[in-house]
Structure 1
Amino acid sequence: MFFIPLPFIVALVLVFLLAQMTWRQGVVVLANQRFRLLLGGYALLSVLVGLRWGYGIKLLLPLQATLAVSLAPWALRCYQTLAQDAAASPWQKLHALPALGVLALIAWWPQAIDAAVVLVYLGYGLALLRLARRGPDGLGVARLDQAPLVHRMLQATAVSLLLSALVDAFIAWDMVSSGGRYSALLLGSFELFLLLIWGYAASVAADSLPDHATPPAEAVIQAEAAAPLADDQRTVAALQQLLQDQRLYLEPDLNLIRLARKSGIPARQISAAINRVEGKNVSQYVNDFRIQHACDLLRSSPQTVAEAMLASGFQTKSNFQREFRRVTGTTPALWRQQAEG
């Protein structure tokens, strides 16, 4: 009897996210393409899991393992793009070693493939956690209104990679000890759930990219010698003046790299100064200006909440609602009612 394995349903969801990502992004830059390939790879891996465990096609196991260990390095490379680290690292070529290693194991030592997958997932999960330690400001290419959400997606990807390594280790043990009694159940639930997490995280991260290519980090590094500021107070004052004079906070595509280029202040100095003086990250600092502008519109103009949101530099309702509640303690609609009252 023909049936549709659950992994195929997951693959369809991931393809839908990929189509939605493609439809949203009118201009394709290199980072967009990387995240699209990542999401497409997740969908293909889900199909291979369905063919392997749903129809018992064991010949696909080497291809499944090779793709699995290729996606973890590619995920790290994608998120490094948001941090502008991908081109700077001299170790990028070494990311091909996991796939090459699995191919070698297929030929000479297939029994060690499961252990290799576990080690790769552990290593790259820890590498993603290390990248996440920089906080939202470490993702300088992401739009400022979405940087906190992307940072959470980065953390979720890292943690789920580590959990997947543990699950893969258990599956390998289960195949040896009981012939795979519990493996199908795990792959049909937990592993597929992780694929959905990875796919959604990649979709959110890609959506945070500006509609134009971000200049390379070297432009920001060179600015360090051009206009060094003596202390954090002067840095924050200069940024506040720049944001108010040019109303940069109204630009939906504003990110930390662009703010650094406009101000002539290194991105790391901006992040550190705002953190120490204001006790916030750069995204929260800029969104404070945006929320104040939205409040002015809601109080003095007939614009709807959605129109005020777009006019204030936000692009998604969820980010706007979250930041509005953080700043004012209430929702935009209730705030307008209170202001009118």
Structure 2
Amino acid sequence: MPVLPLPLVFALFLCVMLLQSALRGEGAGWLRVLLLFCAIQNVLIAFVHHYGVSELRIVLPITASIIPSFVWVAFKSTAVRSFGPADLAHIIPAVIVAFATLTNPALLDVLVPLVFFLYGSALLFALSRGEDQLHRVRLQHGSSPLFIWRGIAAVLLVSALSDVAIVADHILGDGSYTPWIVSFIGSVSVLALGALAMAKPIADVEENVVVSVAPEEQIEDAALMLRLDTLVREGELYLNPDLTLSMLSRRLSVPAKRLSTTINRETGQNVSRYINAFRIEHACVLLSAGKNVTQAMLESGFNTKSNFNREFLRVKHCTPSDWRTLSPAPTAA
């Protein structure tokens, strides 16, 4: 009875996940691309290390170096902001690895682990600023997206270590452990990347797209936004730093997805930016009244200074300190 090698089993599993995602309409486009490349990498590993197709060996380091780049682009374009032309620059590491493959293969022992290490470290650093910067992730998932992305960063770093282990196996031994290292550590890492990439908290993102709606839906959207604005303003819900989309939806007795879609269609913003606009207006009042920047930040519902400064600059086009300086001094009673 034929037995499939582990990397090929993992590849089939990833393909099933990809098919299910496509059929259900779940997951952002870049996450699906990442999942596809993870599946392709496992297929290549199986053919090279288990079926002896040595002609494909030259492709392995190139496709491997593409994966960290896709992780970074997927993170930025699904959790932080929309995909932009500058993201195309992340194909450069793969181009460098391809050039080294053709001209000086010895460099691959350094280049491939370095690519994984740099992207894993960069992702961890970006996440060190907390969940407030994940603008496009739905609020109801809480801290889960932050932990999942940190898990993905950890997988990249583990993959870098596996490449180092392969190099050590060839330097200190005869390379006999390399197929096992690739099969278990490499393949499992790629599988983990794909599985984590399709986890609902990070795949379920708010797309900044305005879709055409029927007139009756436009009327319903406007009515819901009026109710939401009234609730948020009069109840000062924005002052709660732990406010979530699910809290708002429960107060309005509407599904969270319905409320999120309405906010996006009516304002062109995601939920976080909609709420942060109220917080910034409140902070401006406090700054004009003589409060210092830290007091205004904490009393307006923000937890981190970096997020406060970034959102203030986005809404008011100046820093909180500049606003405080330019605002008229409060008059004595």
Offset at residue 7 of structure 1 (A): 0.4
Offset at residue 108 of structure 1 (A): 1.0
Rounded Cα–Cα distance in structure 2 between residues aligned with 1:185 and 1:249: 52
TM-score after normalising by structure 2: 0.66
Larger Rg computed on CA atoms: 2
Deviation digits for residues 84-107 of structure 1, max 9, x if unmatched?
Answer: 34546x853431111111111122
Alignment of 1:1-341 (within 5 A): 3-25=3-25, 32-85=28-81, 87=83, 91-204=86-199, 207-210=203-206, 212-214=207-209, 235-236=238-239, 243=248, 247=252, 250-252=255-257, 254=260, 257-263=269-275, 265=277, 276=298
Deviation digits for residues 152-209 of structure 1, max 9, x if unmatched?
Answer: 1100110111111111011022123322121122222222221121011110155312
Is the contact between residue 249 and residue 255 of structure 2 (CA under 8 Å) also seen in structure 1? no
Deviation digits for residues 190-241 of structure 1, max 9, x if unmatched?
Answer: 222211210111101553124x5457xxxxxxxxxxxxxxxxx89517989x
Rounded Cα–Cα distance in structure 2 between residues aligned with 1:183 and 1:268: 55
Rounded Cα–Cα distance in structure 2 between residues aligned with 1:273 and 1:144: 25
Rounded Cα–Cα distance in structure 1 between residues aligned with 2:295 and 2:209: 23
Which AA in structure 2 matches 1:14? L
Which runs of 5 or more residues in structure 1 are unaligned?
Answer: 216-232, 283-341
Which AA in structure 1 matches 2:163? D
Secondary structure of the corresponding residue to residue 136 of structure 2: coil
Offset at residue 146 of structure 1 (A): 2.4
Is the contact between residue 249 and residue 256 of structure 2 (CA under 8 Å) also seen in structure 1? no
Mark the CA change 1:107 to 1:265 in structure 2 (over 3 Å): closer, same or farther.
same
Mark the CA change 1:21 to 1:266 in structure 2 (over 3 Å): closer, same or farther.
farther
TM-score after normalising by structure 1: 0.64
Count of aligned residue pairs for this structure pair: 257
Mark the CA change 1:237 to 1:188 in structure 2 (over 3 Å): closer, same or farther.
closer
Which AA in structure 2 matches 1:18? L
Is the contact between residue 135 and residue 273 of structure 2 (CA under 8 Å) also seen in structure 1? no
- Identity within the alignment, %: 24
Is the contact between residue 137 and residue 147 of structure 1 (CA under 8 Å) also seen in structure 2? no
> Over aligned residues, Cα RMSD in angstroms?
3.8
